[in-house]
Amino acid sequence: DTEVTQTPKHLVMGMTNKKSLKCEQHMGHRAMYWYKQKAKKPPELMFVYSYEKLSINESVPSRFSPECPNSSLLNLHLHALQPEDSALYLCASSQDVDRGSETQYFGPGTRLLVL
Amino acid sequence: AQKVTQAQTEISVVEKEDVTLDCVYETRDTTYYLFWYKQPPSGELVFLIRRNSFDEQNEISGRYSWNFQKSTSSFNFTITASQVVDSAVYFCALGGILTGGGNKLTFGTGTQLKVEL
């Protein structure tokens, strides 16, 4: 089973709102990722969690706050977003973290619209 | 630095035609991994194949085949007898390791494939 689930599928929020995106995997993977994808562009890496610890933050603004409550769950807390943050947010997981060989499995994404 | 180039932005074919999506990569690593992902309009990135730099054998999976040529740094993807359901954006990616932990995927810009009846 190579399933990564994400909720919600769609989210509309105002610039003053606080919302959270959720991601879950039950493959026993030790690394989880958040990506942002704008239309007609490839995904851009935002954060990496390795063994439930934040290992990579690709200079993401603080209005995005990741959280990894346990090895299966990954959240992305959103606060005071800007309209340019509207995008598809993808979660991914991989079995291991130390080799460039690991396949990342992606969830279906959350389409976020910031008004 | 790693780089992946997908020069074809968009390809349109008629159903049952064969189509090849090109991917050219750059890396200084002697061991590396290449991936292809499919992204249909629904948005999910679907993993198709992983190939390591030591294995230059071509691979076939149903209507899909991949041609890895180290000499030209290319990893091309062919769909035989295309179908409407193959319509999607296809990304080629190069795997690497992130300092601090985690695996980095360097994506190409993607090729939009449209298969029409």
User: Model confidence over A67-115: pLDDT tens digits?
Assistant: 999 989 999 999 999 999 999 999 999 987 666 678 999 999 999 999 9
| Per-residue pLDDT reduced to its tens digit, B47-97 | 999 998 888 888 888 999 999 999 999 999 999 999 999 999 999 999 987
Single-letter amino acid code for the residue at A38 = K
How wide is the angle at C-alpha A102 spanned by C-alphas A108 and A110, nearest 5°? 15
Q: What is the predicted pLDDT for the residue at B56?
A: 80
- Top-confidence residue, A37 or B28: A37
Q: What is the predicted pLDDT for the residue at B54?
A: 87
pLDDT of B31 above 90: no
Q: What is the predicted pLDDT for the residue at A2?
A: 62
CA distance A44 to A59: 11
Single-letter amino acid code for the residue at A42 = P
Length of chain B: 117
Residues 6 or more apart whose Cβ sits within 8 Å of residue B35: A103, B47, B48, B49, B50, B51, B92, B93, B94, B95, B105
pLDDT band at A11 (very low <50, low <70, confident <90, very high): very high
Rg (CA), chain A: 13
pLDDT of B41 above 70: yes
| Per-residue pLDDT reduced to its tens digit, B75-85 | 999 999 999 99
Nearest beta carbon to residue A45 from set B29, B104, B110? B104
For residues B49 and B21, the answer to whether their CB atoms sit within 8 Å is no
| Per-residue pLDDT reduced to its tens digit, A39-76 | 999 999 999 998 999 988 999 999 999 999 998 999 99
Residue whose C-alpha is closest to residue A60's, from A33, A99, A40: A33
For residues A74 and A91, the answer to whether their CB atoms sit within 8 Å is yes
pLDDT of A1 above 60: no
DSSP per residue, chain B: --EEE---SEEEEETT--EEE--EEE---SS-EEEEEEE-TT-PPEEEEEEETT----EEETTEEEEEEGGGTEEEEEESS--GGG-EEEEEEEEEE-TTSSEEEEE---EEEEEE-
Q: What is the predicted pLDDT for the residue at B103?
A: 78
pLDDT of B27 above 80: yes
Do A98 and B107 count as a contact with CB atoms less than 8 A apart?
A: no
- Top-confidence residue, A99 or B11: B11
Do B101 and A42 count as a contact with CB atoms less than 8 A apart?
A: no
Do A100 and B103 count as a contact with CB atoms less than 8 A apart?
A: yes
Q: Which residue of B has its CA nearest to A99?
A: B97
Q: What is the predicted pLDDT for the residue at A98?
A: 65
